[in-house]
Amino acid sequence: MKCCKKKFLHFVFVFLLAICMTNLKSTCKAYTIDDVKFFIDYLYSQNVTNANYSSFHNRLGSLRNDWERMLQKAREQNIDLSQYTCWRAASTGRSTSCHLFGFKTSPEYHCTGYWYETTNTNSTYPGILWTTDLNSWDTGNYRFSDDFCALNENEPTNGNYYNAIMQNKVEFPPNFKFTFFDERITATAPNGATAYCVFLNDLTDIQGIGYIENYEEHPDTQITIFMQNYRDPNDVKVQALQPTDYELINGELWVKTITMWTPMVYEIVGIDGDDNFIAYYYIAAGSNTSGDPNFYGTPPGYDDNQFFLWKLLGNFGDDSGDKGGGLFGGLYDLFIPDKDFFLTYFNNFHTWASSHLGLLYTPFEFLFNLLDRIINADYTDPMVEIGPYTLPLFDDFTIVPKITYHFNDLLQDENMSNIHDIYLLIVDGILIIGFLRMCYNKYEEIIGGKK
């Protein structure tokens, strides 16, 4: 009986831990700037293979750091990001990369990008904002990649970019929507139709399925998917997306306009699993009254400012894994649930338990809250904040003022930084040795019969 009780408690513990981990992973961290919430969880999630290309950030979450630096730069240049109508991000994902963040706006048809050269420590890092005129979009000449990406033969110099932004202050309409989903991108047309597109990517193929949620009410809505990808390290653009029914534009950009409810499947050809592979995905939805598949304008009666909502999902690596084919693939499909299954499963359980179990579920919520704080803490800027402590009964007399200490200030000294690196190395060694010791004990317990 005691043994069963112990096993049961053990099972409950593992079950709850699984709930915690799944639930916490789904937490989308809101990043508020000027009262606009940015959901950038995807940018630094484990599924983003972006940790090794930046020489400035040797930790996971490089994209987030870059994003924050971009915001900082935008503030310095008095650009109100809350007024942007759309946002685009791209990472080349290579070791000697540039890095792009872009903004597509309307009706000015200006874009603003963020670019820096990570290989040149003497560059104007952390970034150069630049603008360019995108009126040419209306002509049907796809200059999308040329204008947005710095990886082409017309790449301006750092100074040119910098001068451009200094001379062209960008003002955008006050409508900004920006949402990242784990593996779903969304576009909302001004007529209310919402388009979704889901991509599955495992470095050997990409499948995209797009649909509009409320198509019956908005039969004039079209969804446009742009796909483009590059393969490095030689800065050579490689056509890799091979839609089943495609139209080739300018020899480098695949454009596919689909009728709603028609699933589309894209397959990559010519990709050899190179880590440097990257694909860009763009989705836009709008009411296309002209029937032009290259439609970018705003339909009559709709507000320009609300027309475009661009989303990007890129470079999410080999997250889906290679499950292979044949018998193994069949068994995999038979027994291994989809990766989103457990997320949905435990989220449903969490929701149900919160609403039905009341205070009985409070300890678990307390535990989730605790783990949420631990996992979502910003460890990149370790700091201690104390106070302020006041006495409410004595006119809020402050007995301990607010004290903030940033540990990273210590590391500005080179010697201290070296000592800290060595210290972390030793701690890592201790942890790894302890882990190996634990593995050995477990091995002894299983194989050697040790209790």
Partner 1 sequence: MIIEKILLFFQEASFTIFSFLNLPDLPASISDLLSDFLDLVFVNISALGFFVRIQTLVILVPLAVIIINIDKIYDLVMWVLKKIPLIGIE
Contact segment (CB under 8 A) with partner 1 among 221-229, 279-287, 294-302, 381-389 equals 381-389
Based on the shown chain and the rule CB under 8 A, indicate whether residue 349 belongs to the binding site for partner 1.
yes
> Rounded to an integer, what distance in angstroms lies between the CA atom of residue 116 and that of residue 196?
32
Strand, coil or helix: 262: coil
> Rounded to an integer, what distance in angstroms lies between the CA atom of residue 432 and that of residue 420?
18
**Contact assessment for residue 76 and residue 70, using Cβ atoms and an 8 Å cutoff:** no
Q: Could you tell me which residues come within 8 angstroms of residue 244 by beta carbon, excluding any fewer than 6 positions away? A: 264, 265, 266, 267
**Contact assessment for residue 204 and residue 274, using Cβ atoms and an 8 Å cutoff:** no
Based on the shown chain and the rule CB under 8 A, indicate whether residue 333 belongs to the binding site for partner 1.
yes
Minimum distance of partner 1 from residue 369's CB (angstroms): 6
Among 356, 392, 393, 447, binds partner 1 (CB under 8 A): 356
Based on the shown chain and the rule CB under 8 A, indicate whether residue 370 belongs to the binding site for partner 1.
yes
Contact segment (CB under 8 A) with partner 1 among 7-15, 26-34, 222-230, 247-255 equals 7-15
- Report how many residues bind partner 1 under the rule CB under 8 A: 52
Based on the shown chain and the rule CB under 8 A, indicate whether residue 17 belongs to the binding site for partner 1.
yes
Quote the DSSP letter at residue 249: E
Based on the shown chain and the rule CB under 8 A, indicate whether residue 374 belongs to the binding site for partner 1.
yes
Beta strands in 241-388 (DSSP E): 241-243, 247-249, 253-258, 266-268, 278-287, 383-386
Contact segment (CB under 8 A) with partner 1 among 33-41, 164-172, 294-302, 332-340 equals 332-340
Based on the shown chain and the rule CB under 8 A, indicate whether residue 348 belongs to the binding site for partner 1.
yes
Minimum distance of partner 1 from residue 288's CB (angstroms): 39
- Residues in 388-427 that interact with partner 1 by CB under 8 A: 407-408, 420, 424, 427
User: At which residue do the structure tokens 């994209």 appear?
Assistant: 63
β-pairing, 403-406 with 30-33? unpaired
Gyration radius from the chain CA atoms: 25
Q: Which is nearer to partner 1, 248 or 370 (CB)?
A: 370
Contact segment (CB under 8 A) with partner 1 among 9-17, 173-181, 194-202, 299-307 equals 9-17
Based on the shown chain and the rule CB under 8 A, indicate whether residue 379 belongs to the binding site for partner 1.
yes
x/- string (CB under 8 A) for partner 1, residues 30-59? -----------------------------x
Beta bridge partners of 111: 104, 132
Q: Which is nearer to partner 1, 262 or 408 (CB)?
A: 408
Among 6, 8, 9, 14, binds partner 1 (CB under 8 A): 14
Q: Which is nearer to partner 1, 261 or 328 (CB)?
A: 328
Based on the shown chain and the rule CB under 8 A, indicate whether residue 360 belongs to the binding site for partner 1.
yes
Minimum distance of partner 1 from residue 333's CB (angstroms): 7
DSSP per-residue letters across 190-223: TTS-EEEEEEEE-SS-EEEEEEETTTTT-TTEEE
Based on the shown chain and the rule CB under 8 A, indicate whether residue 435 belongs to the binding site for partner 1.
yes
Burial readout 399-432 (b: 16 or more C-beta within 10 A, e: otherwise): eeeeeeeeeeeeeeeeeeeeeeeeeeeeeeeeee
Minimum distance of partner 1 from residue 400's CB (angstroms): 13
Strand, coil or helix: 423: helix
The angle subtended at Cα 61 by Cα 60 and Cα 62, nearest 5°, is 100
Residues at the site binding partner 1, with contacts judged by CB under 8 A: 10-11, 14, 17, 21, 59-60, 331, 333-338, 341, 345, 348-349, 352, 356-360, 362, 366, 369-370, 373-374, 377-385, 407-408, 420, 424, 427-428, 431-432, 435, 438-439, 442, 446
